[in-house]
Each structure stands twice: as structure tokens, then as C-alpha cells.
């Protein structure tokens, strides 16, 4: 556990008692603070009380008398679409609002570090798509290289639940926009921006607010090295803002759209080959095509970002390449779950938006595509470039008919349930086909999470193969 510093003998309010909220309360207590906890869910309040925490309402300004700070869980809005009443009350009382990410960065370094030969490092990864795979891949490479590394944040353990890093240790964090937008301290050593596409727009007051939340990791964090995906205009803008000139190698540009020119530091992938360039010369090359855990252009982008992050820590290209080959991928993200009779079955349930689903459609050929769910804003027109790879779509979800109508000339069958979609796809699949779950929609019309949806897909396959 990372004991929170700076609040000894003070009361700190904690709003939201899920994983991050309870973790923050425990870490505050370990640092000598007295957490005052609240959650609208009576069961969560009872669990906190049984754990020994003080539980009290936080909805009025008078509730904040003697309170040093309010710590808010990521899912609780503090500005858009409307701030939670407890946040409004804290602000009215002049109480600072923070989250567990802010607590982590203000508390990580301790006096023990004075005796270390090598200070621990933090790599923080954000972006719309690919940040989980990129984070896990960085962690995997570091571990394979013999470095002590921990994976936390939006993946793995809560940031305050990790062990205090050892001499030379590395902490790899996946950070969502919900986490970066509010944290009062953001000081990674290496920060990674994978890409940007519309998501969570209601929470951030539009696309500009969404980008601003991601940008805080770089603009306020001041990382020693910034690794920026520059295939969107926002990434190019961010790289330009952070760089002092064309040769500034504190910014490493990443692309899968084409070769990156110039005297700076860049990592890009073309036709399955990753290339690293420094000062206008090629420094390394990796053939990504045979790496089964990283299929498709979207995973090649993840590989480029992870390669750049590991190179920023001084790892040799061949060490990184070797570790890439042993990376199995993450569940629900272009995960090959079965192969039978020449048919490959892929679980990409995490493809909850159009951009992520498009990357999956472009990664495979002869696709029998299981798609649909709770549609997001903007429709599915952005999937058009990937539809030529689809042999047939099997549409699930409560809005299956409406989703199927948007597919135009692509053959589609309304299945509604996962069981029927899997059964029909298996029945019609031919050798060389890929049965792909890449919904391009949220899961909440039928499942509690994209993980549950992916698990159901796998269970239905196992029952039939």
C-alpha cells in the first residue's frame, strides 16, 4: 500500500466507496488521516463502517467543517453533465477536490528513495483506444527484461494498493480521462498518449473537454519523456506544444499512418514492420507480423508506443522484440480464444466504440462478425472502411434490428442473443474465416460489463466447439 502523505491528523472526506474509494480510505488511514466516507449505496456504507471507517453525509457545505480535502471516485461527475451535490458542497466550503491518482503522485516518493541507487520511475498511459494493451505490454517487456515492475490504475491493481516501489522499480499506470481530469498532482516520468477518438463526451462537455482531460497528463505533469501518437490532429498539436524544436528528443512521435520524417525521435509501423528513427537515421527495426499477441494495425500502434516507452527507459531493441513474442495479449482485446477446422475465433469485446471495432475489422479477413449492443452517439458510419472484410454480420442486443439496418449492403442477421449469434456463426463458418466479436457498442443493454459479454462469447464457443 502507498500511505498517503500530507494529511496526518486531518479529516479527509471520501466520496464513493467502490474499489478506488475504499483503497483511498485505507491509504489515507495508513498515512495518519481520518477518512470520513460516504456512498449513496447503503450496502457500500455498511461495508465501510464494518471496516472501521467513519461514515457521514457529505451533501451540504456544513458537512465539510474541519475537512481538509474531498477525494472523489472516478465515476462521480464533478463538472459535466452536472456535478455531484457533494462536490458542489465541498466547493462552496472551499475544500479542495482530488482523486486517488492525485493522492498517489503526491505520496509515492519517500525518504527511502534517498538510499536508492536508481530512483523508481512511473510510466503513465492514456488515450482513447489501446491504453490497456499498451500498459500491459510495457509491463510485460519490463518484467521479461528482469526489471521490477507493477501494473496499476485503470488496469490491474488500484494505484494506492501497489507496494512501495523498490530501488530501480517501475510503476506502469493506465489512466482514463476520468482519472486525469481531476487529479491535483500528475508527475509521471514517461507519459504516453496512444490516440484520440470521441468517447465519454457527456462527461467532458464535448470532444474538446475530453482532449483537455487527456492533455493534463502532459501539460501539468511535465514528464521527462512524452510519447505521442500523431495520427490525429490532437496528437500532432500536443507533440508540437511539448517540443522545443524539430530535434527535441524529449518527445517521441508514434504513427501507423506512415513514415515519420525529421531529426527527432520517432517510432512508426508500416506494413507490419516497426522502425525506430533518431536524428534522421534508423536505430532499430522489428517485424511485428509473426507476433500472435499483437494482430492488426491497432496493435502495431500499441507496440510502437510500448517500444518507445521501453527505449526511453534504456532497454535494448532486441530485448524488447524478444518480449513482444511472448506477449499473450489481454482478455477481450483481439484475444484469439480458439482455432478449429481452419476457423479462428477472436474475442474483442472491449471494442465498445466505432474506432476500436474498425481496427478489429481491419486486422482480419473473411470475418463473421458478432456486433451490436447499446449504441453510442454518432452511429456506425465510421465502420465503412472495414466492412469489405466482413462476410456476414450477426447482430446482438436490444437494438439489433436498428444496428443491422445501418450496415447497408453488408449481409446481416438479427440474432439478438449471444447464444444464437455464436451458433449461427459456427454453423456458417468456412476454413479461413474469422469469427470476431467486436461489438462497436456498449454492453449495458444485456451485460454488466464488456468483460461479462466477452466471457459469455467464450462460454458459448466452449459449449459448441
Q: Are 24 and 160 in contact (CB under 8 A)?
A: yes
pLDDT at 221 over 90: no
Whether 128 has a binding-site annotation, put simply, is yes
- 129 annotated to a ligand binding site: yes
Are 193 and 284 in the same domain?
Answer: yes
CATH of the domain at 165: 3.40.1190.10
Cα distance between residue 235 and residue 447, in whole Å: 33
Q: For 194-233, b where at least 16 C-beta lie within 10 A, e where not — what string?
A: bbbbbbbbebbeeeebbbbbbbbbbeebebebbbbbbbbe
Place of cell 520511475: 121
Q: What is the mean pLDDT of the chain?
A: 95
CATH classification at residue 36: 3.40.50.720
Average the pLDDT over 86-91 and give the result: 97
Q: Which of 47, 73, 98 is the last residue of a domain?
A: 98
Whether residues 225 and 308 fall in one domain: yes
Rounded CA separation 32/10 (Å)? 8
Element (H, E) at 15: strand 11-15
322 CB-contact burial (10 Å; exposed 0-12 / middle 13-18 / buried 19+)? middle
- 326 in a known ligand binding site: no
For 147-183, what is each residue's pLDDT tens digit?
999 999 988 789 999 999 999 999 999 999 999 999 9
**Is residue 6 in a domain?**
no
Distance CA 151, CA 198 (A): 26
Kindly report which listed range (5-14, 23-32, 378-387) carries the lowest average pLDDT score: 378-387
Pair (393, 317) in one structural domain: no
Residue 408 domain-assigned (yes or no): yes
Give the chain's domain count.
Answer: 3
- What is the tally of helices (H) and strands (E) in the chain? 15, 20
| pLDDT number for residue 90 | 98
- 105 within some domain: no
- 149 and 199 co-located in one domain: yes
Instruction: Please indicate if the annotation marks 135 as binding a ligand.
Output: no
Confidence grade of residue 329 (pLDDT, cut at 50, 70, 90) = confident
Statement to judge: residues 76 and 116 lie in one domain: no
Q: Is the per-residue pLDDT at 377 higher than 80? A: no
Residue 256 · residue 235 · CB < 8 Å: no
- 26-48 pLDDT per residue, tens: 999 999 999 999 999 999 999 99
Calculate the CA dihedral of residues 19, 21, 25, 27 and round it to 10 degrees: 60
Any alpha helices (H) in 283-338, and if so which ranges? 296-312, 317-325
Distance CA 211, CA 191 (A): 15
- Predicted local distance difference test score (pLDDT) of residue 17: 95
pLDDT exceeds 80 at position 98: yes
Same domain, 123 and 80: no
- Is 233 a known ligand-binding residue? no
- Residue 90 inside a domain? The answer is yes
DSSP of 363-375: H-SSEEEEE-SBP
CATH number at residue 406: 3.90.190.20
Same domain? 307 vs 367: no
- Rounded to whole angstroms, the Cα distance separating 414 from 358 reads 20
pLDDT above 90: percentage of residues in the chain:
91
Q: What is the mean pLDDT of residues 330-339?
A: 91
Q: Tell me the average pLDDT across 384-408.
A: 96
Q: What is the pLDDT of residues 402-460, one digit of tens each?
A: 999 999 999 999 999 999 999 999 999 999 999 999 999 999 999 999 999 999 999 99
Which of 268, 295, 325 is at the close of a domain?
Answer: 325
How high is the pLDDT of residue 376?
78
Residue of 72, 74, 54 whose CA lies nearest to 11:
54
Q: Which of 325, 358, 392 delimits the end of a domain?
A: 325
Contact 113, 12 (CB under 8 A): no
Q: Could you tell me if 178 and 239 lie in one domain? A: yes
255 annotated ligand-binding residue: no
378 assigned binding-site residue: no
Q: For residue 197, is pLDDT > 90?
A: no
Tell me, yes or no, whether 2 lies in a domain: no
Q: pLDDT tens digit string along 55-75?
A: 999 999 999 999 999 999 999
Same structural domain, 68 and 118: no
Dmax (CA) for the chain in angstroms is 69
Taking residues 69-95, what's their average pLDDT?
96
Confidence of residue 330 (pLDDT cuts 50, 70, 90): confident
State residue 328's pLDDT score: 87
Which pLDDT value is given to residue 355? Answer: 87
Question: How many Å separate Cα 47 from the centre of its chain?
Answer: 28
The residue segments making up the domain with residue 71 are 11-98
**355 in the same domain as 321:** no
Of the chain, the end-to-end C-alpha distance in Å amounts to: 44
pLDDT attached to residue 379? 83
pLDDT band at 378 (very low <50, low <70, confident <90, very high): confident
For residues 462 and 184, give the distance between their C-alpha atoms in angstroms, rounded to a whole number.
47
CA-nearest of 240, 238, 268 to 255 is 268
pLDDT digits (tens, 9 = 90+) for 275-308: 999 999 999 999 999 998 998 899 999 999 999 9
* Same domain membership, residue 363 and residue 270: no
Question: Are 65 and 165 contained in the same domain?
Answer: no
Amino acid at each position: 500500500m502507498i500511505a498517503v502523505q500530507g494529511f496526518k491528523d486531518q479529516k479527509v472526506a471520501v466520496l464513493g466507496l467502490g474499489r478506488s474509494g475504499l483503497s483511498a480510505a485505507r491509504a489515507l488511514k495508513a498515512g495518519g488521516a481520518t477518512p470520513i466516507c460516504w456512498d449513496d449505496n447503503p450496502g457500500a456504507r455498511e461495508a465501510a463502517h464494518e471496516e472501521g471507517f467513519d461514515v457521514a453525509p457529505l451533501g451540504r457545505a456544513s458537512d465539510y467543517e474541519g475537512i481538509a480535502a474531498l477525494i472523489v471516485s472516478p465515476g462521480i461527475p464533478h463538472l459535466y453533465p452536472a456535478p455531484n451535490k457533494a462536490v458542489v458542497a465541498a466547493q462552496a466550503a472551499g475544500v479542495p477536490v482530488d482523486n486517488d491518482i492525485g493522492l498517489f503522485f503526491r505520496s509515492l516518493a519517500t525518504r527511502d528513495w534517498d538510499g536508492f541507487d536508481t530512483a523508481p520511475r512511473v510510466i503513465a498511459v492514456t488515450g482513447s483506444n489501446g491504453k490497456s494493451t499498451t500498459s500491459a505490454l510495457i509491463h510485460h517487456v519490463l518484467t521479461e527484461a528482469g526489471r521490477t515492475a507493477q501494473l496499476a490504475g485503470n488496469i490491474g491493481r488500484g494505484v494506492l494498493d501497489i507496494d512501495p516501489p523498490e530501488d530501480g522499480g517501475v510503476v506502469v499506470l493506465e489512466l482514463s480521462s476520468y482519472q486525469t481530469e481531476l487529479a491535483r498532482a500528475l508527475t509521471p516520468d514517461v507519459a504516453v498518449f496512444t490516440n484520440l477518438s470521441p468517447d465519454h463526451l457527456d462527461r467532458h462537455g464535448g470532444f474538446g473537454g475530453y482532449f483537455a482531460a487527456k492533455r493534463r497528463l502532459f501539460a501539468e505533469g511535465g514528464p521527462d519523456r512524452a510519447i505521442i501518437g500523431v495520427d490525429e490532429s490532437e496528437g500532432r498539436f500536443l507533440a508540437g506544444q511539448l517540443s522545443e524544436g524539430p530535434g527535441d528528443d524529449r518527445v517521441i512521435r508514434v504513427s501507423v499512418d506512415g513514415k515519420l520524417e525529421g531529426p527527432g525521435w520517432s517510432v512508426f509501423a508500416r506494413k507490419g514492420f516497426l522502425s525506430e528513427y533518431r536524428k534522421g537515421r534508423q536505430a532499430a527495426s522489428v517485424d511485428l507480423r509473426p507476433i500472435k499477441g499483437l494482430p492488426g494495425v491497432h496493435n502495431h500502434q500499441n507496440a510502437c508506443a510500448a517500444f518507445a516507452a521501453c527505449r526511453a527507459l534504456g532497454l535494448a531493441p532486441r530485448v524488447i522484440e524478444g518480449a513482444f513474442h511472448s506477449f499473450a495479449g489481454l482478455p477481450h482485446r483481439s484475444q484469439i480464444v480458439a482455432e478449429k477446422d481452419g476457423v479462428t475465433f477472436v474475442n474483442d469485446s472491449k471494442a465498445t466504440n466505432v474506432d476500436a471495432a474498425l481496427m478489429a475489422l481491419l486486422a482480419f479477413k473473411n470475418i463473421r462478425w458478432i456486433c451490436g449492443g447499446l449504441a453510442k452517439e454518432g452511429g456506425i458510419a465510421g465502420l465503412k472502411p472495414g466492412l469489405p472484410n466482413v462476410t456476414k454480420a450477426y447482430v446482438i442486443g436490444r437494438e439489433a434490428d436498428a444496428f443491422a439496418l445501418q450496415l447497408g449492403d453488408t449481409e446481416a442477421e438479427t440474432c439478438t442473443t449471444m447464444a444464437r449469434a455464436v451458433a449461427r456463426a459456427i454453423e456458417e463458418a468456412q476454413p479461413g474465416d474469422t469469427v470476431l466479436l467486436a461489438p462497436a457498442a456498449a454492453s449495458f443493454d444485456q451485460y454488466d460489463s464488456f468483460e461479462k459479454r466477452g466471457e459469455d462469447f467464450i462460454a458459448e464457443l466452449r459449449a459448441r466447439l
